[in-house]
Every structure is written in C-alpha cells, then in structure tokens.
Structure 1
Amino acid sequence: MVRIFLTGYMGAGKTTLGKAFARRMDISFIDLDWYIEERFHKTVGELFTERGETGFRELERNMLHEVAEFENVVISTGGGTPCFFDNMDFMNQTGKTVFLDVYPDVLFRRLRVAKQQRPILQGKEDDELKVFIVQALEKRAPFYHQAQYVFNADELEDRWQIETSVQRLQQLLGL
C-alpha cells in the first residue's frame, strides 16, 4: 500500500510532479484543493471567503482525513495544509510525506506567470510578490521541514525535467 503526501508552497509543483509520479506508479492522484472544490461545488477562494480562514482550514482538515483513507494514492496538499492543526503529524503517521523545496526565485518566476489564477497574488507588483513569497516560506518552513523527505523541485519546466524528477522521487522513496 502506497500513500504519499506532497507538501510545499504554491507553485512548488505538487500537482505537476504528483500527477506524473502517480501515472508512473500506476496509482491514483488527488489534488486536495480540487477534491474540496468537487465535494462542495465551490472554489477554494469562495469557501475561504464564505467560511473565513478558520472555517476553511477545518473543512480542509476534514477532507485531508477523508482522502487519507484511500490506498495507493499520491495526494497533493494545499500550500497551507501542513501549517494548521495536527495536519503534518497526521500525514506523517498515515503515509510518506515529501516537502517539495523550491528556491524563492523559481517560485517567483512560476507564480508571476500564474498570478491571475491565484486570488491571494492578484494585484501584487513584482517586488511585493517576491517579499510575499519569502515571508510566507519563512513562516511555513518549520511545518514543511517536518516532512519525512525533502525533494528539490526547482526543475519541472519541461517533460524531460518532470520525468527526471519522477525518477529521482521514486529513488528517494525507495519505490
């Protein structure tokens, strides 16, 4: 039985690497944010606005516990998931946890392009975005570093890099 939780900041490549890794392993892939959106027929942003951060984080925790029941699965968590409640401990107890570590400059490059799809980033100028990323990483680092494995995910820009990263992750996890 395989259950892998991918954690890391937005833009780290949790979905990109997670999908490719699950395909290689011939197991299921679940993006926790997508799972929540399908269950509640609302975007994460809408749920966040309606329930507030505390309400959303409680819902997220419940959904994390639900998907952790699945077997033979790669689960991409939301960027903040490990930072609330006992989520990181729970994931460490129920599966293998991998922190996708990405340099702030790489995150900036990725998120700068995807700003419009991420409400929390909209309207931020480049300098503001850089500071925002660095501050968020500093705040979340103690949680992310509780993962059982740390994986550098700087290189996920093309098929070859993704395939190479999948192979490296497979070796790291001994699968």
Structure 2
Amino acid sequence: MKRIFLIGYMGSGKTTLGKAYSQACGLEFIDLDWYVEGRMHKTINELFAEKGEQGFREIERAMLHEVGEFENVVIACGGGTPCFFDNMPYMNSVGTTVFLDVDPEVLFRRLKIAKMKRPLLADKTDDELTETINSALSQRLPYYLQAKYHFNAEQLESHRQIERSVKLLDQLLNNQTI
C-alpha cells in the first residue's frame, strides 16, 4: 500500500510530477485542489470568496483526511495545505511526504508563464510576483521541511526531464526504508 503526498509551493511541479509518477507506477493520482472542487462543485476561488480562507482551509483539511484514507495513490497537495491545522503531522502519519524543492527563480519563471491560469497572480508585476514567492516561501518553508523526503523538482521542463525526475523520485522512495 502506497500513499504519497507531494507538497511544495505553487509551480513546484506537484501536478506535473505527480501525474507522471503515478502513471509510471500504476498508482491513482489525485490533485487535492481538483478533488475539493469536484466534491464541493465550486472552484477554489469561489470557495475562498464564499467561505474566506478559514472556511476553505477547513474544507481542504476534511478532503485531505478523506483522500488520506485511499490506498495506492499519489496526492498533489495545494501549496498551503501543509501549513494549516494538523495537516503536516497527519500526512506524515498516514503516508510518505515529499517536498518538491524549487529555487525561487525557477518558480518565478514557471509562474510568470502560468499567470493567466492563476487568478491570484494574474495582475502582479514581476517585482510583486517575486515578493509574493519569497514571502510565501519564508512562511511555508518550516512546514515543507517537515516532509520525510526532499526532492529537487527544477528539471520538469521537457518530457525527457520529467521521465528522468520520475526515475529519480522512484529511486528516492524505493531505495530507502519508508
């Protein structure tokens, strides 16, 4: 039985690597944000607008505990998921946590390209985006560092890099005692 939680900042590659890794290993893939949206029949932005951050985080926690019961699954968590309630200790107790570590400059490059798909970033200037990334990382890093494994996820720009990262992640998870 495998239960792998991928954590890290927005743009770190949780969904990209999670999908590829789960496919290569014959595991189910769940993006927690998509799961929340499907169960609540609302977008994350709608939930934030209606319930506020506290209300959204309570829903997110409940959904995390729900998917945390699934077996043979790779779960890509939202960037803030590990930072609230008992989420990080919970994930460490029921599965294997992997922090996808990416340099802020790489995050900036990825998020600048994806700004239109991410409403929270759409109107930010380059300087504001850099400040947002650096500020959030400084707040979230203490939670991310509680992951059992740390994985450099900077090489996810091409199919070849993704395939190589899948192999490296598999080695990390399977060549060490879990």
Gaps of 5+ in 2: none
Runs of 4+ in 1 over 3 A off after TM superposition: none
Cα distance in 2 for residues equivalent to 1:50 and 1:132: 23
Match of 2:141 in 1: 141
Cα distance in 2 for residues equivalent to 1:89 and 1:122: 33
1:32 maps to a residue whose letter is L
Cα distance in 2 for residues equivalent to 1:14 and 1:27: 15
1:86-111 C-alpha deviation (Å, 9 max, x unpaired): 10000000000000000000000000
Q: Secondary structure at the match of 1:75?
A: strand
What is the CA-CA distance between 1:116 and the residue it aligns to?
1.3
1:36 paired to 2:41: no
1:128 paired to 2:151: no
Match of 1:168 in 2: 168
Cα distance in 2 for residues equivalent to 1:137 and 1:163: 27
What is the CA-CA distance between 1:118 and the residue it aligns to?
1.1
Aligned residues: 175
What is the CA-CA distance between 1:122 and the residue it aligns to?
1.8
Cα distance in 1 for residues equivalent to 2:48 and 2:66: 19
Match of 1:3 in 2: 3
What is the CA-CA distance between 1:131 and the residue it aligns to?
1.1
What is the CA-CA distance between 1:167 and the residue it aligns to?
0.3
Alignment of 1:13-24 (within 5 A): 13-24=13-24
Match of 1:53 in 2: 53
Cα distance in 1 for residues equivalent to 2:119 and 2:52: 15
Match of 2:107 in 1: 107
Cα distance in 2 for residues equivalent to 1:159 and 1:148: 27
What fraction of aligned residue pairs are identical, expressed as a percent? 65
Cα distance in 1 for residues equivalent to 2:75 and 2:172: 17
1:31-76 C-alpha deviation (Å, 9 max, x unpaired): 0000011111111011011000000000000000000110000000
Cα distance in 2 for residues equivalent to 1:6 and 1:39: 20
Q: Normalized against structure 2, the TM-score is what?
A: 0.97
2:27 maps to a residue whose letter is I
Match of 1:96 in 2: 96
Q: Normalized against structure 1, the TM-score is what?
A: 0.99
1:170 maps to a residue whose letter is D
